[in-house]
Amino acid sequence: MTTTTRNRKLSPDELDSFGRELDEVRARAVAQLGQRDADYIRRIVAAVRWTGLGGRLALMIGAIGGAFVSGLLIPAWIVGVLLLALSKILENMELGHNVMHGQYDWMRDPHLDGKTYEWDIVATGDNWRKTHNYQHHTWTNVRGMDDDIGYGLLRLFPEQRWRPFYLFQPIVAVIFAVLFEWGVAIQDLRLGRWWYGKISNAQMRKNFRPVGRKMARQLIKDYLFFPLLAGPFFLPVLLGNIVANVLRNLWTYTVIFCGHFTADAETFAKESVKNESRGHWYLRQLRGSSNLTGGRLMDLMTGNLSHQIEHHFFPDIPAHRYAAMAVDVRAICARYGQHYNTGSLPRQFGQVVWRILRHALPSRPPVKRARLARSSA
């Protein structure tokens, strides 16, 4: 693990008690799980369904009604798109992401079961449970183990080897943001490895089958079925669905990139996670994650990934509890002299954009600076 001046180096004993104190925060939350959490997630389910229904109705009214009543199309279309995007964002973040982490498994409600939940994006839940729940959460920001570092597409850290392809990175990043759900969908297919012949065609066909099925289903639902309900006036509905999906993509991309690729976020070498203690694991999660400030609305719209640090510490605790847990977590981090990375959305996203631009060009890890800092400390 690299040491920066913002973090105090912890002795093994300190690491252990650091881990223990965080375990206690977790235990306190677990002890409180109950009706309040069940009511909360059911309210989210209801919000997703009603805004989804409202959005689709508004688009339909705009498309069909707009053909007869002038001036109806545009406002109804805008309302429809916004409601549908809101529904999809809530479903993606606060519902799908959190349920698939198993945050509500304790309820034993088959509809909120982390192992079987299937969300409303083109990526299959099964692939995501592997790339995200397992690879990303276990190996957060470990180079070569956490594919979420640049998704095999972007160079965000100087430790990643530079290639001329990265000169196009600013454009690639924008395209990736617009098509984010498609990127997540093909992440587990590892097209790169297939391209270089490390995965056979037959294997690729097998891996692709469930992904292709999910993609087809999403395409037919949003871009065929619902538009065709409007009959000859399908075009505004089709456009509305496209825009709603793109809005959702842009938003989730923004939130997720702010979670791990801000200026102070660190990456780690594979060696650093061998025989990692629990305290050490917590520390790595802390240094690889960053929060967003912004209050309840921000928490809701990000599925509480505004508390990325707490999410990485406690991925299976119902996320609406992170805000309260963060008070303890911050105090613990302060006591152990660890930097708690948080900031407003514009500030954090600005840092992400800077990383994307900066590391498109050759850059070198700040080895010297770190060494200097350590020797002068």
Partner 1 sequence: MSARPRPASTRLPARSDSPFRRLARPWLSPRVFDFWASRLHPTWSWERPLARIVERRAESADAVTLVLRPNRHWHGCRPGQHLNVSAEIDGCRVTRSYSPTGLPGRDRRVAITVKAVDGGKLSRHLCERAKVGDVLDLGPAFGDMQLDENAAAPRLFLAAGSGITPLIALTRALAARGMPAPLSLLYWARKREQLCFVDELRSYAAAHPRFQLRFLLTGEAADAADEGQGRIDAAQLATIADLADREVYACGPGGFVDEARALLAARTVSFQAEAFSPPPRTQEDLDGTVEITLAASARTVTVARGQSLLGALEAQGLKLASGCRMGICNTCACGKRSGSTRHLHTGDAQHEPVSALRLCVNSATSDLVLDL
Residues that bind partner 1 (CB under 8 A): 23, 27, 30, 33-39, 45-46, 49, 100-102, 105-111, 113-115, 118, 129-130, 133-135, 137-138, 217, 221, 225, 281, 315-316
Considering the complex, state which of residue 9 and residue 221 has its C-beta at the smaller distance from partner 1. Answer: 221
For partner 1, the closer CB: 10 or 38: 38
Rounded to a whole number of angstroms, the minimum distance from the CB of residue 35 to partner 1 is 4
For the chain, the maximum distance between any two Cα atoms, rounded to a whole number of angstroms, is 76
Task: Give the whole-angstrom CA distance, residue 298 versus residue 304.
Answer: 8
**Minimum CB distance to partner 1 smaller for 39 or for 331:** 39
| Smallest distance from partner 1 to CB 48, Å | 9
Residue 324's contacts (CB-CB under 8 Å, 6 or more residues apart) are none
Q: Residue 333 is inside which H or E element, if any? A: helix 322-335
Give the nearest distance from C-beta 168 to partner 1 in angstroms: 34
User: Least distance in Å: CB of 45 to partner 1?
Assistant: 7
What type of residue is 22?
L
Which of 244, 247, 246, 223 has the alpha carbon at shortest distance from 235?
Answer: 223
Q: What share of the chain is helix, strand, coil (3-state, %, to 5)?
A: 70, 0, 30
Q: Name the nearest CA neighbour of 56 among 81, 35, 38, 32.
A: 81
Which lies closer to partner 1 via its Cβ, residue 298 or residue 317? 317
CA-CA-CA-CA dihedral for 137, 142, 145, 149, to nearest 10 = 80
Nearer to partner 1, 215 or 356 (CB): 215
Q: How far is the CB of 38 from partner 1 (least distance, A)?
A: 3
At closest approach, how far in Å is the CB of 314 from partner 1?
9
Supply the minimum distance, in Å, between the C-beta of residue 162 and partner 1.
31
When the beta carbons of 140 and 348 are compared against partner 1, the nearer one is: 140
94 with 45: CB under 8 angstroms?
no
Rounded CA-CA distance 121/57 in Å is 20
Q: What's the rounded Cα separation, in Å, for the pair 118 and 110?
A: 12
Q: Which is nearer to partner 1, 14 or 23 (CB)?
A: 23
Quote the least distance from Cβ 364 to partner 1, whole Å.
33
Q: Phi/psi at 102 (nearest 5 deg)? A: 80, 20
- Min dist CB 181 to partner 1, Å, is 17
Q: Is the dihedral of CA 58, 59, 60, 66 positive or negative?
A: positive
Residue closer to partner 1 by CB (options 112, 298) is 112
Q: Rounded to 10 degrees, what is the CA torsion of 254, 306, 101, 339?
A: 110
Complex with partner 1: residue 61 or 99, whichever CB lies closer: 99
Torsion of CA 24, 29, 32, 33, to 10 degrees: -130
Pick the closest to residue 251 from 300, 307, 208 (CA basis).
300
